[in-house]
Each structure stands twice: as structure tokens, then as C-alpha cells.
Amino acid sequence: MKKTYTHALAALGLIGALALAGCGGGGAGSAGGAKSEKPGDLLIGVSMPTQTSERWIADGKAVEDGLKKDGYQVDLQYAGDDIPTQGQQIDQMITKGADLLVIAAIDGTALSSQLDAAAAAHIPVISYDRLIRDSKNVDFYVTFDNYKVGVQQATSLLKGLGVLDASGKETAAKGPFNVELFAGSLDDNNAHFFWNGAMDTLKPYLDKGVLTVPSGQTKIEQAAILRWQQETAQKRMEDLLTSAYSDGKKLNGVLSPFDGISRGIITALQGTGGYGTTIADGLPVVTGQDAEIGSVALIDQGVQYSTIFKDTRKLAKQAVIVSKDILDGKKPEANDTKSYDNGAKVVPSYLLQSDTVDKAQIKPLLIDSGYWTEAEVASGVAQ
């Protein structure tokens, strides 16, 4: 299956001018000297981290469908959040002769040997949603504006607490509001971007004392949840309630970076008693991310305050466009060539925009766009 992609690699700047001349002098987009392959002859390996979260199931399916629609062969694999499994799956894709790899890494630093092997076999690599770190063999990155996701999460927390009004203007509320902070998995590059965006937004209010963190855990290493797991988040919230709130202090809000983590936090809060079951009854304001159906239903019921909607249909579409460009020998369009230094190089990126969804935004953003149906929101189950 594997063909020689001198042409595609030249478009990405992966081989030098001499080699380019050697392939017939064709520049990006020209046919000079390049083999013309039919999509049906080409195999694309798509490596996704896990099926425990809906978003990755939707991402995998949408990327596979989009590539197949363009005629490509696709090998889609999920790694069950197990790092060695993901490595083996990518090794197998390379052995099978994949012509391009699209990878959403579990651990952004654990795929160096796979990326070396891909480069040796002239297989271009697209980092999908999560940046693969410490390798220069990452050709392109498609993602969302991850720093801005963090800003949106923190802004939503401030609105939920009443520190900002609906339009984002400061109110007269001085607090102090008790908040706790959660971060994602430290081996996921995105977790750091979300955290930095959120903390830059919260910092002025922490400095002024409008917000306080009774646990004192304000470092990402203290707030991180390995593999973004719901159970780990629930346990950390239970521990925080025991250690920092047993004197009757009330928690007002929680910065949560992912809906699974949010549901773990909410379960812990509802379990301790004294917080009620909805925000109206006294449950703290909890943020989220991904617009998972379980959380969208909770937002609709007034239990979770908000989530960040990242339209995975758009991300998958962009990954398909970039794959096609690379395989056609064209330079993919980047809209950010500064932000994503993976430790070995700055990876050209295409960033999409995300939206905050609170109860009022469920209909316009999620239902009207066909992301979830009204029945799904009412039941909390994807159909």
C-alpha cells in the first residue's frame, strides 16, 4: 500500500530543495514528477485515545466517514487509554503501509519511536486535537484554540458566581467566593493550555481576594486528574471537602476542565449533603468541556452550570481537508504558526473556535445545529 510521498513531504518542507529537484522539480501542488495516486490506493491510519468519552467516539467516526467519503481507505483504532496499546496500534499501521497518520495521543510524549519510524518510512503525521510533543516528525496540528477554552471556562465560572454579568462586565460582587480548581491529565499538552487560559483569567480575582481557594491547591500539579478520569475527580473532590470544608465553610464554585471530571465533582458534592441537588438549591457552580450528553442534560436540569462546546464535526472535517492536501502534495492552510511549540519545533496549526454553553445556549448551539436532539438532551442519553 505504501507509496513514495516525495511530493507530499516536499510540500510540508520535510525534504530539502535538492530532493525536491530530484523528484522532478515540482513545487507544492504541481504534478511534476510525483506519482499520481488514487485515494482508493491510499491507507490512512487514525489513532484515537479512548472510547470512554463520547467526544473521541464522535471524532473517530467523523474522521473515518470524511476520509472514506473522499475515497481513502481508513484504519481506525482506539487504544483504551493505554499508552503501550496506542504505540502498538500505530506500529501496526506503519507496518501495514499507511500513507498518512492522524493521531490523538494519550500521552503526548510517549510516541517518539513511532514518529521516528513514520518519518523513516516517509509517512506524514497529523496531530489531532492533542499535540504530540518532543518530536520534529509532527507535520501539522488541527485543534481548537485551547488557551481560549480555558479563558471561556474561567469566564463562565465568574459569571456563574455573579462576579461578571451575562455580558462579561464586572458586577459589584466582592465575595469572597470559595472555589476549587481542577486540571486535566498532565501528559496531555492541552491540559496546560486550558489551565493557563483559566488561571490568567482568574488571577486578578484571586489576587484581590474576590476568589479564595480554601484547600490552597492552586498549582496544576495539585489540581491535575490523571487520564481525565471521573472517579479520580470524585475522589479528589471528596478529599477536598473533608480536608478544607469540614469546619462548615461552603464551596461556591469549581473550575472543571472536562465534563467527565465535572460529573465526578458533582457526584461528590451531592453525596456529602448540605449542598442540595441543583444550583438553585445551593450546589456550587461547576464548569466543564465537550458538551457530553450526560452533562448537557445536567445543565438543562440546573445541576452543572456550563460546558465548552467544541464541534468535533468541524475538527474532523479540518483533519480530512489537511490529510487530502498533504496527500495531494499541497501545503495545508495554517492559521497559527506560533503557539504550538512541541519542544522540538513549532508545529503549523489550524485552530477552530469553541463556544460556552449554559442552559440558555443549549437550544441555539447544540439542538439547532443538530449536535444533540431535544430528546437526547431530555434523556441524557445519545441515540
CA 360, 366, 368, 374 torsion-angle sign: negative
Cell of 119: 518519518
Is 139 a binding residue for ligand BGC by CB under 6 A? The answer is no
Is 81 a binding residue for ligand BGC by CB under 6 A? The answer is no
Cβ-based nearer residue to ligand BGC, 226 or 378: 226
Is 130 a binding residue for ligand BGC by CB under 6 A? The answer is yes
Q: Tell me how far apart the alpha carbons of residues 366 and 372 are, in angstroms, rounded to a whole number.
A: 6
The secondary element (H helix, E strand) that includes residue 55 is helix 54-69
Cell of 375: 430528546
Out of 289, 307, 323, 342, the only residue in the binding site for ligand BGC (CB under 6 A) is 289
Out of 53, 178, 232, 306, the only residue in the binding site for ligand BGC (CB under 6 A) is 53
Q: For residue 332, give the DSSP letter.
A: P
The interface region with ligand BGC, picked from 95-103, 184-192, 195-203, 327-335 by CB under 6 A, is 184-192
DSSP, residue by residue, 216-282: ---SHHHHB-GGG-HHHHHHHHHHHHHHHSTTS----EEE-SSHHHHHHHHHHHHHHSSS-SSGGGT
The interface region with ligand BGC, picked from 182-190, 246-254, 329-337, 338-346 by CB under 6 A, is 182-190
Out of 147, 228, 309, 340, the only residue in the binding site for ligand BGC (CB under 6 A) is 228
Q: For residue 346, give the DSSP letter.
A: B
Q: Are strands 349-352 and 355-357 parallel, antiparallel or unpaired?
A: unpaired
Cβ-based nearer residue to ligand BGC, 145 or 290: 290
Q: Tell me how far apart the alpha carbons of residues 353 and 144 are, in angstroms, rounded to a whole number.
A: 6
| Burial of 246 (C-beta count, 10 Å sphere; 0-12/13-18/19+) | exposed
Cβ-based nearer residue to ligand BGC, 6 or 289: 289
Question: Taking CB under 6 A as the criterion, which residues in 13-52 touch ligand BGC?
Answer: none
Is 129 a binding residue for ligand BGC by CB under 6 A? The answer is yes
**Closest residue by Cα to residue 73 from 118, 101, 48, 40:** 40
Is 290 a binding residue for ligand BGC by CB under 6 A? The answer is yes
The angle that helices 312-327 and 54-69 make with each other, rounded to 10 degrees, is 40
CB of 55 to ligand BGC, least distance (A): 6
Cβ-based nearer residue to ligand BGC, 72 or 78: 78
The secondary element (H helix, E strand) that includes residue 83 is helix 83-95
Question: Taking CB under 6 A as the criterion, which residues in 101-120 touch ligand BGC?
Answer: none
Question: Taking CB under 6 A as the criterion, which residues in 237-276 touch ligand BGC?
Answer: 258
Cβ-based nearer residue to ligand BGC, 78 or 258: 258
Out of 127, 135, 178, 190, the only residue in the binding site for ligand BGC (CB under 6 A) is 190
Is 192 a binding residue for ligand BGC by CB under 6 A? The answer is no
CB of 354 to ligand BGC, least distance (A): 9
The interface region with ligand BGC, picked from 15-23, 118-126, 183-191, 269-277 by CB under 6 A, is 183-191
Out of 64, 99, 107, 188, the only residue in the binding site for ligand BGC (CB under 6 A) is 188
Cell of 127: 496531530
Q: For residue 132, give the DSSP letter.
A: P
Cell of 280: 438553585
**Closest residue by Cα to residue 98 from 66, 76, 130:** 76
CB of 352 to ligand BGC, least distance (A): 11
Is 133 a binding residue for ligand BGC by CB under 6 A? The answer is no
Which positions lie near ligand BGC, rule CB under 6 A? 53, 55, 129-130, 184, 188, 190, 228, 258, 289-290, 310
